[in-house]
Chain A
């Protein structure tokens, strides 16, 4: 099976712009989660989508949003970019089932730099 793919791998944006990142989960995985990773804050959970619905949400401002399509592919959007949004954005997919032990499989990430 192909792994989790994320596009683009690298992105440079200017403050105030918006950006959309894409994630394709492993075939058959219906849960997709997004994380922000920075040297100072570590891995921080953004949100999780399952069957096109946001199931869990982290503590990020409303500028961060996401969605999931019927084929389980997911996008996250950041509007009005700030310098502090520079980070590695990781997408992870897992099989379904609340209460299951299924692990998350991570993509290689999108490195976003805001100038």
Chain B
């Protein structure tokens, strides 16, 4: 079965600092990968996705993620954190059988 691991349930960064949220997945076949963000009392919003092709994927709000097959990782980064980035972030995998698996989420706090 597929699994998604997000290292660090809580991450704190200073405003303007680098944001790095980690995601590893288990799969022998590269799946489709996604990052979602959730603000309080809202649904999940797609940040970016990896399907095929370029391994560095750019998303909304200045976020990007790099797919590394050899490490089965899809870490999310942003060069400079903004207060509005404070939210819950979820990594997700979609298999070719149309099954979605989500990580347990990482809560990002941005310190002014």
Contact = CB atoms under 8 A, between A and B. Distances in A.
Interface of A: 4, 31, 33, 35, 42-43, 45, 48, 50, 55-56, 90, 92, 97-101, 103-109, 111
B74 interface: no
A101 B43 contact: no
Interface of B: 32, 34, 36, 41-46, 49, 51-52, 90, 92, 94, 96-105
A56 B98 contact: yes
B76 to A, nearest CB: 15
B100 A101 contact: no
Given A42-B105, A101-B94, A107 B43 contact: yes
6 contacts: A33-B100, A42-B104, A98-B96, A101-B32, A103-B49, A104-B46
A102 B49 CA distance: 9
